[in-house]
Amino acid sequence: MRISKLAAAAFLGVAALGLSACANTLNTEVSRYQAMPAPQGQTFIVVPGEGMAANGGLEFQRYAGIVAQQLQARGYVPAASPQSASMTVSLGYGVDHGQVRVVDNSFGYGGYGPYGGSFFYPRYGFRSPFYYGWDDPFWFGGGGYGRGIDSYVEYHGQIDLHIRAAGTNQPLFDGRAQARSQTNRLDVLVPSLVEALFTGFPGRSGEVVKITVPRAPRA
């Protein structure tokens, strides 16, 4: 009996730790195609792309500044004017209206044996609480334990980045980062998605990778 109580206490502690860790991260899927030149003083300008970025404005300027910082950290130089830019960087972003998910989350338990210490969640099946990636059971601050019938809204956020050589419009980089989450706040999603897209930038052409990044603080 004492062993059972200790095991139950350990399970609750580990589950809480897993929830805490996942609540502070965003799990993304990043795809990249690139023919980027090595940085040798090339200049760039960031312009509005598709989606919610299309109208430009102050919100776009904030996210464009984040992209510019990432490029500058890699040796590229912000252009003094659009006419002097040797590369045009198009940034698009958006988040959908969400989809309500209803699940039976009324029980969960830990086990060893064939599952090697994984936990069973009705919503997700057998899965370790420390499993990260695109299919992380808690995604972005979600999840629960022993709540019975539960409902939540799942959002899909995405950014697209296209870099073209000025003048010739030659493609240099096409990238996309997307994530499922339980928030639709762009001020949280877009900075994290930008960080994911620039992790290992420019990457290998044609790669699709799963990247976990820290959650951006709310503005």
pTM above 0.85, yes or no: no
Q: Which residue has the tokens 């988040």?
A: 95
Length of the chain: 219
> Is 159 within 8 Å of 149 (Cβ atoms)?
no
DSSP state at residue 78 = E
Q: What is the DSSP string of 154-204?
A: EEEEEEEEEEEETTT--EEEEEEEEEEES---HHHHHHHHHHHHTTTTT--
Which residues have a Cβ under 8 Å from the Cβ of 103 and sit 6 or more positions away? 122, 123, 149, 150, 151, 152
Tens-level pLDDT at each residue, the chain (219 residues) = 444 444 444 443 433 333 333 468 899 999 999 999 999 999 999 999 999 999 999 999 999 999 999 999 999 999 999 999 999 999 999 999 988 888 776 655 444 344 343 333 344 343 333 233 444 444 444 444 455 678 889 999 999 999 999 999 999 999 999 999 999 999 999 999 999 999 999 999 999 999 999 887 776
